[in-house]
Structure 1
Amino acid sequence: MTLITAAPAAERMSSRHKLVLTLLLGAQFMLAIDFSILNVALPVVGEGLGFGLDRLQWIATAFALPAAGFTLLFGRVADLFGRRRMLLTGMALLAAGSLIGGLAASPAILLAGRVLQGLATAIATPAALSLLTTSFPEGPLRTRALGLSGALMSAGFTVGAILGGVLTDLLSWRWAFLINVPVAVAILAVTPAVVGESRSRDASRLDVPGAVTVTGGLLALVYGITSAGARGWDDPAGLGALAAAAVLLVAFGLIERRSPAPLAPPRVLTRRTVTWGNVGGFIAFATETSLVFLMTLYLQQVLGFSPLTTGLALGVLGAGTFAGGVAAPRIMGRLGGRTTLAAGLVLQAAATLALLGLGSTRDGLALMLAATAIGGFGNLVAIVAFMGLATSGLPDGEQGLATGLATMTQQVAITLGIPVMSAVATAGTVSVLGGVHTATLVNAAVAVAGAAVIALFLRRS
């Protein structure tokens, strides 16, 4: 009888847990909003500061390069030097970068602000996630916390698009930057009183050669992807960067095998749940974020909606993702991580296939809203399962590494997904609608293939 009554108590969050969870989720929600808040406002920003159409992509690239390139490094730094310290450092950089971007009078200053924002994301996101995983023991409590985290992060991407349109229409694009400043300052003020410091207890040193090669490799990879997406996949600069990325990342793997204190220990990287969990997460993020791009293209270029109306229409997808994040912990409790990840991708793929029924009139708008909501639900279920798998079975001292790897997976997937689907949508098509249909079909096929790979290779533990 004692065992039956003790389990629910162990699965119940204390007041302290709820306070920590609220603060960390607030930080992650703001970082997610920051990622997407400028997407709708890019043309207006270009007009205001004199960016040519061919240079607008650098506003996004200046953020994506440091956000993806440095996240694995700073995830490990958080383990060694303090997760709360790195969260505070990231929030301070975010406030500074947002202030610089909001007050920018030239393209160079704006890009400097975006670089700082991307660096802040690389520092703060894995720190906040590892504080979350180390604050909640592995099991139902952690799964529930990760479900809420995934729901709010995905909702943040959608809210960012809507908020960017509202602020740009009603005030100025500058407020898409400046709105971050008071929120970051509030988090800086409250965090020391709510969240305790957390770090690895071993005396490992930072693996400098590993840090240099993996950071350089990821920076080259993201630059190569964005350059190829903007200029074509035969662009010499893009191909050169991708070749350099391959060399540096291979060198990183060789260094880690010989290093006495590796940045990313091979035993962690080759752990089945970490490897295949991140594969599933990569597919989930790459397909859904690129699908949002395709639906934005459809709503604006085919149906003629304004940016603000487009953001509001995609809000239904945000509602679906939020519901998926809330439901995911219960689904994982019944099905397990592997089945939940595969099932989420299958549901997402089925909803994506339904979008092939969209036409050139607004008659199919109800179909789009329903399909994106259902697909968003499946996508978030898969993402929560990915985060649970990618951080499971590892000691607290390696949670920063695990969450840094997961965050890197997310950032690279988002960076890769959009240019690849954009290339598919524009390759050999005579109409925007035809290109959207082709890319949507490819998107669904990738999600199905990902589900099959996860079901095949991620055996039950």
Structure 2
Amino acid sequence: MSSNVSSTNLVALAAVCLSALMLGLEISSIPSILPTLEHVLPANFKQLQWIMNAYTIAMTTWLMAMGALADRYGRKRIFMVGIVVFGIASLVCGLAETAPVLIAARFLQGTSGAAMLACQVAVLSHQFRNGRERGTAFGWWGIIFGIGLGFGPIVGGLIVTLASWEWVFLVHVVLAAATLGLAHAGVEESSDPHAVRIDLAGMVSLSVAVFCLVYLITQGEGVGTGNPPGLAMAAIGLVSLVIFIMVENRVVRPMFDFRTFRTRSFSGALIGSGGMNFSFWPFVIYLPIYFQAVLGLNSVTAGLTLLAYTLPTLVVPPFAERLLLRQGPRVVIPLGLFLIGIGFILMRLAAVSDQASWLTILPGCILAGIGLGMTNTPVTNTATAAVPVERAGMASGMDMSARMISLAINIALMGFILLLGIHSHLESLAGGGQVADFRSLAEAIAAGNLGAGIGGDIGLEAARSALIQGFSWVMLYGALSALGFAAISFVIFGARNAKPLQAGGL
């Protein structure tokens, strides 16, 4: 950051980064404490799923609405309200004694997290107008967000080991208080002067549509005549989506402006946002299972090995932002997605080999992490720079919605593909016969319980082979998704958008 950046902007950057750290930690640190919550609350398997998913569902549902509210009532105001509510929700999470209370508090966390996330990018876009300073600010934002996501599993495990599960949530009460003070001192108020009316119909219809979609995917609900609730949820979601599209194409100041897709740089950036979450981020949830169940690493060693996957995402963004300034998004964003795809191919080759170990899988992990670092902040910087600065809240909301929706979808899809690969291997082992309760056995193996193979009469080594095949399918899916999105983004950007990022726009 150059020396002429005001101290106020530096304080604002600190507030944005600290809030990003909290959001990242609350996504990735919770899986490590689920076994503890199962016993202390207690919570059944369905409740544990909701403890994990309530946060993501709420954030995805409300993200666009929060961006619209920030444009209308002020980014600083909505940002600070989000921080306060996030702190209160974290306190309730830490004090919860039953699973339903924790689930409700997690939903409130996700809602307030949506407010913070929608405002983070808008604040950076407003207070960092110079191209180089803007790139550096977005680079630091990406690094800190990445620290929260990448180190969350280790942080959660250490807190449970050294203190208790409650402090995984209570620590955010302290962090929220510090963030609130920084935001009050450093963040400048900004809004969209043209946003004189709230797009209430758009907010409600999109929120309902997204909630129905994410709920169906994460809960594995069928949409057939044999499942009336699932069919009703799908119908409500589809009707809400149609209403949303109709409303947004008629209102004067839509919160989701479909006209922005005419700007190639904006469309290409959103493709990049989706591409990362069709591959890299959902896989971070499943990769520890491979490390522990297949490679036999303990939780500490697995967490340290996982850093090879996440650490590059922390150090690469500043380089990526400088490259964005020189080469433009058409080079940087497709290149990042391409590297993610090649990284997944290398991981798959290592996973299925007879010499598979943590050493052989590291090159693929590192390359995928580098690719993510090349893509993560440039897509947001490009998307917000492609629209007028007063519409930054809307643009950041669309960008983050693309990320969160694709993340929620692909967590479920990767889980489904993992089960499908395991199930296929179990069927081949049965040789046309029947293994008792294939689905429950596949679910147990997918969770890393290879001992279930003994109970299922297939043996420990056969269960391990089934899990390896499941992961090979998931890695192939991640590779093809990243490479496909890389090609699509390259075409959408077009030669006219190969120019570097300029101060305040493309």
| TM-score normalised to structure 1 length | 0.92
Does residue 108 of structure 1 match 2:100?
Answer: yes
Aligned pair in 2 of structure 1 residues 287, 363: CA closer, same or farther (>3 Å)? Answer: closer
Give the equivalent residue in structure 1 for 2:121. 129
Find the partner of 1:441 among 451, 465, 476.
476
Does residue 457 of structure 1 match 2:492?
Answer: yes
Give the equivalent residue in structure 1 for 2:112. 120
Q: Distance in 2 between matches of 1:242 and 1:416?
A: 15
Q: Distance in 1 between matches of 2:263 and 2:187?
A: 30
Give the equivalent residue in structure 1 for 2:45. 53
Does residue 43 of structure 1 match 2:78?
Answer: no
Give the equivalent residue in structure 2 for 1:373. 366
Aligned pair in 2 of structure 1 residues 346, 238: CA closer, same or farther (>3 Å)? Answer: farther
Letter in 2 for 1:375: A
Letter in 2 for 1:379: L
Q: Distance in 1 between matches of 2:7 and 2:166?
A: 38
Deviation larger for 342-351 or 356-365: 356-365
Q: Distance in 2 between matches of 1:75 and 1:259?
A: 16
Q: Are 1:68 and 1:218, in contact at CA under 8 Å, matched by a contact in 2?
A: yes
Q: Are 1:302 and 1:360, in contact at CA under 8 Å, matched by a contact in 2?
A: no
Does residue 299 of structure 1 match 2:295?
Answer: no
Structure 1: gaps of 5 or more residues: 1-7
Q: Distance in 2 between matches of 1:386 and 1:29?
A: 19
Q: Distance in 2 between matches of 1:158 and 1:242?
A: 34
Q: Distance in 2 between matches of 1:435 and 1:176?
A: 31
Q: Are 1:210 and 1:252, in contact at CA under 8 Å, matched by a contact in 2?
A: yes
Question: 1:308-351 deviations in whole A, cap 9, x for unaligned?
Answer: 43222212222110122121112212321121110001111111
Deviation larger for 420-429 or 363-372: 363-372
Q: Are 2:347 and 2:364, in contact at CA under 8 Å, matched by a contact in 1?
A: yes
Aligned pair in 2 of structure 1 residues 259, 140: CA closer, same or farther (>3 Å)? Answer: same
Find the partner of 1:399 among 392, 397, 406.
392
Question: 1:371-393 deviations in whole A, cap 9, x for unaligned?
Answer: 21221111121122211221123
Q: Are 1:66 and 1:119, in contact at CA under 8 Å, matched by a contact in 2?
A: yes
Q: Please give the secondary structure, in 2, of the residue aligned with 1:62.
A: helix
Q: Please give the secondary structure, in 1, of the residue aligned with 2:30.
A: coil
Aligned pair in 2 of structure 1 residues 136, 219: CA closer, same or farther (>3 Å)? Answer: same
Find the partner of 2:132 among 129, 135, 140.
140
Q: Are 1:158 and 1:311, in contact at CA under 8 Å, matched by a contact in 2?
A: no
| CA shift for structure 1 position 35 | 1.6
Q: Are 1:225 and 1:242, in contact at CA under 8 Å, matched by a contact in 2?
A: no
| CA shift for structure 1 position 138 | 5.7
How many pairs are equivalent?
Answer: 451
Q: Are 1:86 and 1:127, in contact at CA under 8 Å, matched by a contact in 2?
A: yes
Q: Are 1:224 and 1:240, in contact at CA under 8 Å, matched by a contact in 2?
A: no
Give the equivalent residue in structure 2 for 1:410. 403
Aligned pair in 2 of structure 1 residues 307, 56: CA closer, same or farther (>3 Å)? Answer: farther
Question: 1:53-83 deviations in whole A, cap 9, x for unaligned?
Answer: 2331111121112100000010111011011
Q: Are 2:14 and 2:182, in contact at CA under 8 Å, matched by a contact in 1?
A: no
Q: Are 1:282 and 1:410, in contact at CA under 8 Å, matched by a contact in 2?
A: yes
Give the equivalent residue in structure 2 for 1:429. 425
Give the equivalent residue in structure 2 for 1:321. 313
Does residue 18 of structure 1 match 2:14?
Answer: no
Identical residues among aligned pairs (%): 27
Match runs of 1:58-97 below 5 Å: 58-97=50-89
Give the equivalent residue in structure 1 for 2:342. 350
Does residue 255 of structure 1 match 2:290?
Answer: no
Deviation larger for 322-331 or 83-92: 322-331
CA RMSD in angstroms, aligned pairs only: 2.1
Q: Are 1:102 and 1:177, in contact at CA under 8 Å, matched by a contact in 2?
A: yes
Question: 1:84-120 deviations in whole A, cap 9, x for unaligned?
Answer: 1111111111111111111111111111110111011
Letter in 1 for 2:264: R
Q: Are 1:314 and 1:369, in contact at CA under 8 Å, matched by a contact in 2?
A: no
Find the partner of 1:226 among 212, 218, 228.
218
Give the equivalent residue in structure 2 for 1:177. 169
Question: 1:357-402 deviations in whole A, cap 9, x for unaligned?
Answer: 1258885211223321221111121122211221123222211111
Q: Are 1:321 and 1:373, in contact at CA under 8 Å, matched by a contact in 2?
A: no
Question: 1:8-55 deviations in whole A, cap 9, x for unaligned?
Answer: 98x963433323222211221221112211111112112111111233
Aligned pair in 2 of structure 1 residues 238, 415: CA closer, same or farther (>3 Å)? Answer: farther
Question: 1:403-433 deviations in whole A, cap 9, x for unaligned?
Answer: 1111111211221111101111111233101
Q: Distance in 2 between matches of 1:224 and 1:271?
A: 32
Q: Are 1:227 and 1:238, in contact at CA under 8 Å, matched by a contact in 2?
A: no
Q: Distance in 2 between matches of 1:238 and 1:346?
A: 37
Find the partner of 1:271 among 242, 263, 272.
263
Does residue 195 of structure 1 match 2:187?
Answer: yes
Aligned pair in 2 of structure 1 residues 45, 344: CA closer, same or farther (>3 Å)? Answer: same
| CA shift for structure 1 position 243 | 4.2
Q: Distance in 2 between matches of 1:371 and 1:28?
A: 27
Letter in 1 for 2:136: R
| CA shift for structure 1 position 447 | 0.5
Give the equivalent residue in structure 1 for 2:233. 241
Match runs of 1:375-390 below 5 Å: 375-390=368-383
| CA shift for structure 1 position 264 | 2.2
